[in-house]
Each structure stands twice: as structure tokens, then as C-alpha cells.
Amino acid sequence: MTSHSISAPSGATNAGGTPFASSNLVWRPAAERFHSQLDWLDSWHSFSFAGHVDPAWMGFGPLRVINDDTIAAGRGFGMHPHRDMEIITVMVEGQINHRDSMGHAEVLQAGEVQRMSAGTGIVHSEVNEGQTPCRLLQIWIEPGTLGIAPAYEQKPFAIGEHWTPLIDPQGSGGAMAIARPVRLWRAQPRAGQRLPLRLATGAHGWLQVIAGSAELLFPAAEPRQPPGGTQPPERVQAPGLGRGDGLGFGGPGQPVAAEPGIELQAGAQGADLLLFELA
């Protein structure tokens, strides 16, 4: 399986007037993800996972796993070990019951986020003890330092139309911190709403569509506005993104990543989006 580069439309430039580097945008179509299906589990893997291995999709920088899991009521993952990994669970629908070797026995509800530092080693289970199927995104990020002490935290987040920080190195804005300088935001823009791509210029990043759809908007080469500047600048659209699609900005060996001036526009049903800034 090969990666797909999205080219900026002909003539599109960044805010400084230089052409976009199309190789900086790597598209991961939802339908081309790896798929694991059991009688109780429907799981889509953005990157190589378990028995699914492709050297072209081993991860994206320190981002190693994005698994989109739907788990049947009364079923789940029994006790299993992890070490030296930062594990983030974004609960989308329903609930999951978590137990671990640190003594935690917690219920993670829709809208909550859990972060674990596996560090020197943890054992945990994730079982849907609710009455309906649940859906979650489990994310693995390589830690900046190996052999740290295991840690656990979970929080509810009120997600609105603009970017809400979930993970931040300093815990800014009520976010949680992990053992790597990575930022993660979630937003649920309404139909037609525009959001700036909240990545530092030159930063590597990853956009994951949880639900709905969105389009990438590039600044036109020569924005045209009516007298008085009462309308937003002209934009140029790139191909749309739907549920399960991923989009990488930059990557190993690429000197430039996020460009200034890119926006996202939610589709007709709105969108539910995750955005990573990776370091």
C-alpha cells in the first residue's frame, strides 16, 4: 500500500506567496486503513497494528497507532500489558470500563479522554460493561523518555465549534500532559464553518476525521476582495475528507510541514475532528 500526496490546486500559494509543497500533505483514505473484525469488535487501524504490517504505514513521526474501535456490549479486551508508550483514549460513543495494575477501576464515558503513561510497565483491561456498543479512538505516541513511572488520568471535555485542547505539554487550557511535547485538539464545527489549521508554521501534524466531513482550503495566489474588504479572501479547495480519513502534514526528511493560511471547512453535516501537533 502506498501513501497518497494531495497536491494543492494549481496556482495556490501560501501567505508569503511561495507555492505549497504538495509532498507535505499525505492522505490516508479511510477505506485503505487496516481492518480487524471479530464478532464483538470492528477495528480500523490507520497504521500497522497487530497482524497488519506495512512498512509504508508504521506510523507518522512519534504517532504510532490510531485505532477506531467499535466494541459490542458486554465484550472487550482482557488484561494485557504495555510499556514505554503514551496511550490516549478518546471516547466517542457509549462507555468503556478500565481496570489496571495501578489499582484504577474507572468508567470512561463519551466525551471523556484518558491518558496513560505505560512507562516501566502496566497491565490493563478495557471492557464495555454498558448496554449498547461503544466507539473509541485509541492513540499511541512514543514517549520522549523511556522507563518513566506509569501514570493515569482521565477528564471530561466539553467540545464545541472551535479547537479544544486535550493534550498539551504544559497542560494549558485544562488539557492533560503526556511524556512527549505533543499537542492534541478536538473540534466539532457546524456545517459550513471554517476553522484555522491550528499548527505552528513548519510543525508536523496529523488530522483525523472522527465523523462528518471537511475540506481543506488554501489561500488563493491572488486573493480578491470587494472594496472595503467586507468579504473573506478567496480560497481554493482541495479534495474533501470524510469519516475515518487522515491527513499528515510533513514527515521524516521533509524540511517544511504546515503552511500558514490553511483552513478547514466543515461539510453539510458538520464535522468531528482531531488535530495533532507532533514533535
H/E run at residue 128: none
- Sort 192 into a burial class: Cβ within 10 Å, 0-12 / 13-18 / 19+: exposed
Count of beta carbons in the 10 Å neighbourhood of residue 124: 21
- Across the range 234-238, mean pLDDT stands at 54
- Across the range 110-123, mean pLDDT stands at 97
pLDDT of residue 206 exceeding 70: yes
Residue 49: predicted pLDDT: 96
Per-residue confidence band for 14, with pLDDT thresholds at 50, 70 and 90: very low
Per-residue confidence band for 250, with pLDDT thresholds at 50, 70 and 90: confident
- Across the range 238-262, mean pLDDT stands at 72
| The one-letter amino acid at 35 | H
Measured in whole angstroms, the distance separating CA 83 from the mean position of its chain's CA atoms is 22
- Across the range 51-61, mean pLDDT stands at 94
Q: How would you label 43-62 residue by residue, b for 16+ Cβ within 10 Å and e otherwise?
A: bbbbbbbeeeeeeebebbbb
Q: What percent of the chain has pLDDT over 70?
A: 81
Per-residue confidence band for 279, with pLDDT thresholds at 50, 70 and 90: confident
Residue with cell 459490542: 72
Q: What percent of the chain has pLDDT over 90?
A: 73
Of the listed ranges 20-29, 36-45, 253-262, the least confidently predicted one is 253-262
Residue 35: predicted pLDDT: 98
Computed over every residue of the chain, the mean pLDDT equals 86
Model confidence pLDDT, tens digit, residues 207-225: 999 999 999 887 765 444 4
Give the residue, 99 or 20, on which the prediction is more confident.
99
Residue 69: predicted pLDDT: 98
Residue 239: predicted pLDDT: 62
Residue 1: predicted pLDDT: 37
- Cα distances from 119 to residues 103, 113, 123, 146, 266, in angstroms, run 16, 19, 11, 7, 38
pLDDT of residue 103 exceeding 90: yes
Question: Terminal CA-to-CA distance of the chain, rounded, Å?
Answer: 26
Count of beta carbons in the 10 Å neighbourhood of residue 81: 10
The answer to whether 261 and 181 have CB atoms below 8 angstroms apart is no
Model confidence pLDDT, tens digit, residues 161-178: 999 999 999 999 999 999
Residue 10: predicted pLDDT: 38
Residue with cell 495566489: 221
Neighbouring-strand partners of residue 152: 116
